[in-house]
Structure 1
Amino acid sequence: MAPQENTSALPGGTAVSADSAAEALHGVDAARERARLTAALTPAWYGPVAAAALIVPALVDAWAQERRGWAVFLSLLVALAALAVLVALVDVVRRGSGVRVTRPWSARLRRGGVPLLALLVAGGATYGLSQEFGADRATGKVAMFVVLGLGVWTVFITRNASIRRKLRVTG
């Protein structure tokens, strides 16, 4: 007969060692953390599409400023379509991850607050500098949205790189 380890009998006659129970709990915690990190990854195409959804309406609006009339209406439609694209992208990424991790709004704002603030400051500075150097309003607006779009793309790239590093550490 095999020697007995540090085991305890569970109701129903099942014996479980403390070490195997601790290993199982650690495995569950590691799997939960990997699932949370994997759910937070965004697809590689997400950054460029989000950037385009910010930049294209600004370009169309600059084009429409010169033409007036129906072009302004078209500009509004493009802006609304871009907003719909951004909302759809968020939904696609959430559903595509296969894991639904809901965080409270305060945690979401803490995680996204610094990049959002940095992007808004960079966009505002770009607009201000373009106005200072004599660019017209439409050019300043396009420059601002290009900086915002490329900034959003950069945020997704750095966030994914950070998540991948954490996934390598968790195994």
Structure 2
Amino acid sequence: MPSQENESAPLEGEGRSVAYAEDALKGVEAARERARLRSGLAPEWYGPAVVVTLVLPSVVQAWSQGRGGWAALVALVVSLLGLAAVLALVRAARRAAGVRVTRSLSSRLRRSRIALPAVLAAGLLAGVCCWGFGAGGAATRITAFAVWGLGVWGVCIARNAAISRALRELA
């Protein structure tokens, strides 16, 4: 009966092949992690575009108050265009990052479980403060949407900084 040791011990050439395969697998995993991180980066233009997209419909709505039927129609159209612009910005940001598969809503909410409530609370607090100090409804809405837009921008900056740090650590 042949010895069991010879069957279980890899040959010298096989040992090198296993080591090369392990190194290649580590390289693939590192590349996969870098791609995952890069897909989370928001483009530089995304933050300011969100601020403008959130504030502009409120400004147009404030302008349209008391001006008649055509101004209300313009405000409605600008509001709908603002909603479409937000959706287009999200899609453009994903394309710029090279994301082909979108995350589920629950996954996105888990990722934003701290930032989203903080931004919403800041906007609501700003709106309540404006209302409490006697500002009109239009000024209150503009302030709340401006704070929300700036909050989204701040979250994008913070997330990009964290992702950039992680990418540097992988390199």
TM-score by length of 2: 0.87
Per the TM alignment, residue 140 of structure 1 is displaced from its structure 2 partner at its CA by 0.8
1:7 aligns with 2:14: yes
What residue is the counterpart of 1:52 in the other structure? 52
SS at match of 2:43: coil
Residues 118-137 of structure 1: matches in 2 within 5 Å? 118-137=118-137
What residue is the counterpart of 1:17 in the other structure? 17
The answer to whether the Cα contact below 8 Å between 1:39 and 1:100 also exists between their aligned partners in 2 is no
Residues 125-164 of structure 1: matches in 2 within 5 Å? 125-164=125-164
Q: Which amino acid aligns with 1:134?
A: G
Report how many aligned residue pairs link the two structures.
161
Q: Which amino acid aligns with 1:63?
A: W
1:106 aligns with 2:106: yes
Per the TM alignment, residue 101 of structure 1 is displaced from its structure 2 partner at its CA by 4.2
Where do 4+ consecutive residues of structure 1 move more than 6 Å?
A: none
Superposed CA deviations along residues 105-136 of structure 1, whole A, max 9, x for unmatched, are 32211002321111111111111111111111
The answer to whether the Cα contact below 8 Å between 2:43 and 2:97 also exists between their aligned partners in 1 is no
Q: Quick check: 72-81 or 101-110, which moved more? A: 101-110
Question: For 2:12 and 2:37, how far apart are their aligned partners in 1?
Answer: 36
**Cα separation, partners in 2 of 1:33 and 1:76, compared to 1, 3 Å:** same
**Which structure has more strand as a fraction of its residues?**
1
TM-score by length of 1: 0.87
| Identity of matched residues, % | 48
Question: For 1:87 and 1:102, how far apart are their aligned partners in 2?
Answer: 13
Residues 29-48 of structure 1: matches in 2 within 5 Å? 29-48=29-48
The answer to whether the Cα contact below 8 Å between 2:43 and 2:96 also exists between their aligned partners in 1 is no
**Cα separation, partners in 2 of 1:101 and 1:40, compared to 1, 3 Å:** farther
Q: RMSD value over aligned CA atoms?
A: 1.6
What residue is the counterpart of 2:70 in the other structure? 70
Q: Which amino acid aligns with 2:14?
A: T
Gaps of 5+ in 2: 1-10
What residue is the counterpart of 1:13 in the other structure? none
**Cα separation, partners in 2 of 1:102 and 1:146, compared to 1, 3 Å:** closer
Q: Which amino acid aligns with 1:152?
A: V
**Cα separation, partners in 2 of 1:99 and 1:69, compared to 1, 3 Å:** closer
Per the TM alignment, residue 158 of structure 1 is displaced from its structure 2 partner at its CA by 0.8
Gaps of 5+ in 1: 9-15
